[in-house]
């Protein structure tokens, strides 16, 4: 048997020293694909990523290189973009750095794959889309939650009409992020400074846009209230700083088809639910609650009939009426799954719909959410240009 054809594809990975860049994109996605011998696209073809680690901290890059069997690294983005062997530019930097770096990469003729949000404003996000389209490069955005096992199970339930007519979606996201003193913070300090691109609305409403659009119906209007619950935190150098970004948001969405969705997002809440993210879907025939990995269902015929009586202990254990959805598939890391789809898109031209226009839709919803907060009013979500 002849040796398989190996498509070697160079990837500039900018911003991999950050938490998401290191864990999800490098270690659990690209390096994992390398360790498995590449990505099979047919019995005779494989794609082999050849990454270049880029960042501002040479010491951190060197440490990452050692962890990954010597993947090369550099602090010089311009020289990396000048190298023709690197066809893809990936960006997981802070949001305020993304637009200028992606513009450079598009000008250098690189295919673009980047974290969300792609920009701080819809206008900038759409500019990146238009530039990439004009340059003829392939482009995509991270929309990882679509490949979480819990949401994939929800999708199967929708496709098999388990719910009947869906009329309500309720999302609860968040956990307590420590202030930095006396317990160290588990998120970077820039997340809580608006001037550095921080804020939970610009972060999480981008997620909720693609989740809602892809599973339940396009978002047509939003009502949002944001707040800053913790006014002061301590940074990575144990220095106090003022929190200028929103750290909690409460948003209601009107979807095409009449579905109402509501998502609470907070970095200032203590978890008493099944997971850090739970999504409850209610329909005429049944309901489901999905976490990151698991999903529980209750059909119409198994729904209890409670009677309001606060004078006695509740006789029903409401958790008993739910059935866990079995593992019917084997699920890989959500970030890795989308990376593989994008690599196939670049090398083989397969479909990939999660492009920079989809990214701009997420930024748009966040921007309209902030507008709603400022106006204390419902705000419509207009269709973006193709």
Can you give the CATH number for the domain in which 26 is found?
3.40.50.720
What does pTM read for this prediction? 0.94
Same-domain status, 181 and 116: no
What's the token pair of residue 81? 């973009």
Residue 266 maps to a domain:
yes
Give the mean model confidence (pLDDT) for residues 303-323.
95
Same-domain status, 127 and 181: no
How much is the mean pLDDT over the chain? 96
Residue whose structure tokens are 């951190």: 60
Residue 104 maps to a domain:
yes
Phi, psi values for residue 50, rounded to 5°:
-130, 85
Do residues 144 and 113 lie in contact, with contact meaning Cβ atoms separated by under 8 Å? no
Express each pLDDT in 326-363 by its tens digit: 999 999 999 999 999 999 999 999 999 999 999 999 99
Express each pLDDT in 166-207 by its tens digit: 999 999 999 999 999 999 999 999 999 999 889 999 999 999
Residue 386 maps to a domain:
no
Give the mean model confidence (pLDDT) for residues 119-126.
96
Taking alpha carbons only, the member of 274, 282, 277, 249 closest to residue 264 is: 249
Same-domain status, 302 and 315: yes
The strand pair at 166-174 and 323-324 is best described as: unpaired
Q: Given this model, what pLDDT does residue 1 score?
A: 56
Q: Alpha-carbon distance 135 to 57, whole Å?
A: 31
**Buried/exposed code over 238-263 (b: 16+ C-beta within 10 A; e: otherwise):** eeeeebebbbbbebebbbeeebebeb
Same-domain status, 92 and 196: no
Element (H, E) at 76: none
At 50, the pLDDT band (50, 70, 90 cuts) reads very high
Q: Alpha-carbon distance 233 to 39, whole Å?
A: 43
Residue 140 has pLDDT above 80, yes or no: yes
Residue 212 has pLDDT above 80, yes or no: yes
CATH code for position 318? 3.30.360.10
- Other beta carbons within 10 angstroms of residue 271's beta carbon come to 12
Note if the bond before 182 is cis, omega within 30 degrees. yes
Q: Given this model, what pLDDT does residue 318 score?
A: 95
Q: Alpha-carbon distance 228 to 247, whole Å?
A: 5
Residue 108 has pLDDT above 60, yes or no: yes
Same-domain status, 105 and 20: yes
At 3, the pLDDT band (50, 70, 90 cuts) reads confident
Same-domain status, 308 and 227: yes
The strand pair at 5-14 and 45-54 is best described as: parallel
What's the token pair of residue 213? 């659009």
Do residues 145 and 334 lie in contact, with contact meaning Cβ atoms separated by under 8 Å? yes
CA distances from 297 to 274, 281, 294, 326 (A): 13, 9, 10, 11
Residue 85 has pLDDT above 90, yes or no: yes
> 116 CB contacts (<8 Å, ≥6 apart)?
141, 142, 143, 206, 207, 359, 362, 363
Same-domain status, 176 and 235: yes
Same-domain status, 98 and 186: no
Same-domain status, 190 and 161: yes
Same-domain status, 27 and 78: yes
Domain count, the chain: 2
Query: Three-state SS for 247?
Result: coil
Q: Alpha-carbon distance 155 to 161, whole Å?
A: 10
E strands, the chain, where?
A: 5-14, 39-42, 45-54, 73-74, 86-91, 111-114, 139-141, 166-174, 219-227, 232-234, 240-242, 248-255, 260-266, 277-283, 286-290, 295-299, 323-324, 379-380
- Other beta carbons within 10 angstroms of residue 370's beta carbon come to 20
Range of the domain at 132: 5-143+334-354
> 376 CB contacts (<8 Å, ≥6 apart)?
none
Express each pLDDT in 216-249 by its tens digit: 999 999 999 999 999 999 999 999 999 999 999 9
């Amino acid at each position: 048997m002849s040796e398989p054809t190996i498509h070697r594809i160079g990837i500039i990975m900018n911003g991999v020293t950050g938490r998401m860049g290191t864990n999800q994109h490098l270690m659990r996605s690209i390096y994992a694909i390398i360790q498995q011998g590449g990505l099979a696209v047919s019995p005779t073809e494989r794609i082999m990523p050849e990454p270049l680690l880029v960042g501002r901290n040479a010491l951190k890059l060197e440490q990452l290189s050692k962890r990954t069997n010597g993947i090369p690294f550099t602090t010089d983005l311009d020289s990396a973009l000048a190298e023709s062997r690197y066809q893809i530019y990936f960006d997981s930097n802070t949001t305020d750095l993304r637009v200028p770096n992606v513009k450079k990469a598009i000008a250098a003729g690189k295919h673009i794959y980047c974290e969300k949000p792609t920009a701080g404003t819809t206008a900038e996000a759409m500019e990146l889309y238009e530039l990439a389209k004009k340059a003829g490069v392939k482009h995509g955005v991270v929309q990882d939650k679509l490949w979480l096992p819990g949401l994939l199970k929800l999708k199967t339930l929708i496709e098999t009409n388990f719910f009947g007519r869906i009329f309500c979606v309720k999302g609860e996201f968040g956990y307590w992020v420590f202030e930095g003193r006396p317990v160290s913070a588990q998120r970077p300090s820039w997340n809580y400074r608006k001037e550095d691109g921080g804020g939970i609305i610009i972060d999480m409403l981008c997620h909720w846009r693609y989740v809602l659009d892809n599973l339940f119906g396009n978002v047509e209007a939003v009502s949002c209230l944001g707040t800053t619950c913790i006014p002061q935190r301590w940074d990575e150098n144990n220095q106090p700083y003022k929190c200028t970004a929103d750290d909690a948001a409460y948003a209601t969405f009107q979807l095409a088809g009449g579905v109402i969705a509501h998502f609470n997002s907070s970095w200032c809440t203590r978890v008493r639910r099944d997971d850090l993210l739970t999504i409850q879907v209610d329909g005429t025939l049944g309901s489901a609650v999905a976490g990151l990995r698991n999903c529980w269902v209750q059909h119409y015929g198994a729904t209890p009939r409670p009677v309001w009586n606060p004078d006695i202990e509740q006789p029903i254990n409401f958790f008993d009426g739910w059935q866990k959805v079995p593992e019917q598939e084997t699920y890989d890391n959500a970030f890795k799954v989308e990376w593989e789809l994008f690599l196939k898109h670049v090398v083989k031209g397969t479909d990939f719909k999660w492009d920079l226009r989809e990214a701009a839709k997420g930024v748009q919803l966040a921007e309209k959410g902030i507008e709603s907060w400022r106006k204390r009013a419902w705000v419509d979500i207009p269709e973006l240009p193709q």
